[in-house]
C-alpha cells in the first residue's frame, strides 16, 4: 500500500501512526510530499478530486481518503478491534474524539495557511482569530472532558496526540502546555510510543 503525503501533515501522521499501531508498517510505503493549498498536485488529483493528503493507494489500486477513513481501513485490514471498538457506545465515543481532534487539526492547518501562506496584506484577522478561538476551545475540552478516554490507545487518542504534536511543531499556541498541564503530561507520555517516535514531522 502507498500512503501519499508527508509526516509534516498531522493528518498523514495520524494515518501512519495508526498503521504502525496496527502492525502494518512494513506494508505501508510513505510516498510523495506536501500538498499546497494554492496548487493542483497532479499525482494527488489523479487519485482524488480533493487533492488533499493523506490518500492511501491500496494493493488493489483503489484510492482511500480522508485520514479518518484510512485509519478505519488500517484497523479493518489488520483485524484490530482495540483502536476502534465494535461496541456501539464505545465506537461512537472514539469517533467523536477523533472528530474533535480532526476538527482541531483543520483549524490549525487553516490558521497556518492564512498566517504563513497568504500575503500579509491580504490576511483576514477576524478569520485567523476565529481559528485560534476554535483551537483553544478544543484543547480546553480535551483536558476537561476527554482525559479518561485519552488513557486508552484508540483512533481518537492517536489523532489527538498527532494534532497536539503539530501545534508544537508549528508553534501555533506557545502557551497550551502551561495552560493545560494534564493534557500536556498525557501528550508527553503518549508521544513516547513507537508509533509516535517513528512519525515525527521532519521538515521546516
Ligand atoms: N479532512 C482531511 C484534511 C486533509 C488536509 O487538510 N490536508 C492538507 C495538508 S495538512 C492538504 O492536503 N492541503 C492541501 C490543500 O488544502 O489543497 C483529512 O482528514 O485527510
Q: Of 58, 78, 98, which closes a domain?
A: 78
- Judged by phi (left if over 0) then psi (alpha if -120 to 50, else beta), residue 23 lies in left
What CATH number has the domain bearing residue 56? 3.40.30.10
Q: Which atom from ligand 1 is nearest to the alpha carbon of 113?
A: 16
Residues 122 and 34 in one domain: no
C-alpha of residue 92 to centroid of ligand 1, in Å: 23
Q: Is residue 199 part of a domain?
A: no
Q: Is residue 200 part of a domain?
A: no
**In 3-state terms, what secondary structure has residue 57?**
strand
In this predicted model, what pLDDT tens digit does every residue of 42-66 receive, in sequence order?
999 999 999 999 999 999 999 999 9
Residues 96 and 40 in one domain: no
Q: Which atom from ligand 1 is nearest to the alpha carbon of 109?
A: 10
pLDDT at 153: 98
Q: Of 33, 49, 78, which closes a domain?
A: 78
pLDDT at 147: 98
Q: Is residue 204 part of a domain?
A: no
Q: Which atom from ligand 1 is nearest to the alpha carbon of 70?
A: 20
Q: Is residue 13 part of a domain?
A: yes
H or E element, residue 169: helix 155-169
pLDDT at 204: 59
User: Along the 204 residues of the chain, how does pLDDT read in single tens digits?
Assistant: 999 999 999 999 999 999 999 999 999 999 988 899 999 999 999 999 999 999 999 999 999 999 999 999 999 999 999 999 999 899 999 999 999 999 999 999 999 999 999 999 999 999 999 999 999 999 999 999 999 999 999 999 999 999 999 999 999 999 999 999 999 999 999 999 999 999 999 865
Residues 94 and 180 in one domain: yes
pTM greater than the 0.95 cutoff:
yes
Q: Is residue 151 part of a domain?
A: yes
Residues 64 and 129 in one domain: no
Are 114 and 123 within 8 A, CB to CB?
A: yes
Q: Is residue 179 part of a domain?
A: yes
C-alpha of residue 53 to centroid of ligand 1, in Å: 5
Residues 137 and 170 in one domain: yes
Residues of the domain holding 47:
2-78
Residues 36 and 106 in one domain: no
Residues 92 and 165 in one domain: yes
pLDDT at 203: 66
What CATH number has the domain bearing residue 151? 1.20.1050.10
Residues 134 and 152 in one domain: yes
Q: Is residue 146 part of a domain?
A: yes
Work out how many domains the chain is built from and give that number: 2
Atom 2 in ligand 1: which residue has the minimum CA distance? 66
Residues 67 and 99 in one domain: no
Residues 74 and 128 in one domain: no
Rounded to 5 degrees, what are φ and ψ at 62?
-95, 150
**In 3-state terms, what secondary structure has residue 56?**
strand
β 55-57/63-64 pair status = antiparallel
Are 114 and 172 within 8 A, CB to CB?
A: no
pLDDT at 33: 84
DSSP 116: I
d(CA 126, CA 148): 34
Helix axes 88-112, 10-21, angle to 10 degrees: 150
Residues 70 and 94 in one domain: no
Residues 7 and 63 in one domain: yes
Amino acid at each position: 500500500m502507498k500512503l501519499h503525503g508527508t509526516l509534516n501533515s498531522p493528518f498523514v501522521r495520524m494515518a501512519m501512526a495508526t498503521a504502525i499501531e496496527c502492525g502494518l508498517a512494513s506494508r505501508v510505503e510513505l510516498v510523495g510530499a506536501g500538498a499546497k493549498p494554492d496548487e493542483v498536485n497532479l499525482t494527488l488529483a489523479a487519485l482524488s478530486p480533493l487533492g488533499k493528503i493523506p490518500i492511501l493507494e491500496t494493493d488493489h489500486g483503489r484510492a482511500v481518503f480522508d485520514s479518518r477513513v484510512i485509519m478505519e481501513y488500517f484497523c479493518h485490514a489488520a483485524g484490530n478491534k482495540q483502536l476502534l471498538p465494535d461496541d456501539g457506545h464505545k465506537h461512537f465515543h472514539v469517533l467523536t474524539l477523533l472528530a474533535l481532534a480532526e476538527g482541531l487539526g483543520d483549524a490549525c492547518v487553516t490558521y497556518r495557511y492564512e498566517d504563513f501562506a497568504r500575503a500579509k496584506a491580504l490576511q483576514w484577522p477576524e478569520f485567523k482569530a476565529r481559528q485560534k478561538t476554535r483551537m483553544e476551545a478544543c484543547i480546553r475540552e480535551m483536558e476537561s472532558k476527554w482525559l479518561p478516554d485519552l488513557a486508552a490507545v484508540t483512533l481518537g487518542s492517536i489523532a489527538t496526540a498527532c494534532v497536539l504534536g503539530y501545534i508544537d511543531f508549528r508553534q501555533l499556541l506557545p502557551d497550551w502546555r502551561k495552560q493545560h498541564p494534564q493534557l500536556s503530561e498525557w501528550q508527553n507520555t503518549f508521544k513516547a510510543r513507537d508509533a509516535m517516535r517513528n512519525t515525527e514531522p521532519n521538515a521546516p
